[in-house]
A = this chain, B = another copy of it.
């Protein structure tokens, strides 16, 4: 029966639900097929193999992050934009910890393209600080590393102490904004 129900996108949808409701380890083709109401080998008509499904999943997730971060930045600029950007990014990871854990930062084209969308949003935001070209790239990398590090650790439950994580993140935002205002060649501080 050439039903029109299933497609690569639909398979990714199912995989996302498994990810959200179970764990990254529960993401098997068997589980996806079971939930889609289909025999396992049927999935191969839509997806080359498990590795490709993971790639598609990563790309989808990265695009969702770019969407949310892009929306958060709309209509803001400079410090306010940085804060909104960082909060939106972290909030995505908090709302979907398993998705964030499943996100792979590989050179795989689809995910890389979505990653480029995200980086471009960051670069655009940095223009408010007068950063261009190389300087902006370095700063964007730092911003990305900072947010990713916190989000990854937090969604893994790696922060054990009782101190409030919101406060830690506020501090981090503050540190980033301070750093952006202090150009690299400013030399040592007083």
Contact = CB atoms under 8 A, between A and B. Distances in A.
Interface of A: 79, 104-107, 112, 115, 134, 137-139, 141-142, 144-150, 152-153, 156-161, 163, 165, 167-168, 170-172, 174-182, 184, 188-189
B144 A149 contact: yes
B148 A152 contact: yes
B171 A107 contact: no
A189 B179 contact: no
Nearest to A139: B171
Nearest to A180: B175
The residue in A104, A137, A161, A178 that gathers the most chain B C-beta atoms within 10 A of its C-beta is A178
A52 to B, nearest CB: 15
- Per assembly, the copies of the chain total 2
Among all A-B residue pairs, the 7 with the closest Cβ atoms? A149-B149, A175-B179, A105-B158, A145-B150, A145-B149, A148-B149, A141-B168
Given A161-B137, A181-B189, A146 B146 contact: yes
A156 B189 contact: no
Contacts of A163: 134, 137-138, 141
A138 B184 CA distance: 24
Contact of A175 (B137, B150, B176): B176
Contacts of A148: 149, 152-153
A179 B188 contact: no
A147 to B, nearest CB: 7
Given A79-B188, A148-B149, A152-B149, A174 B179 contact: yes
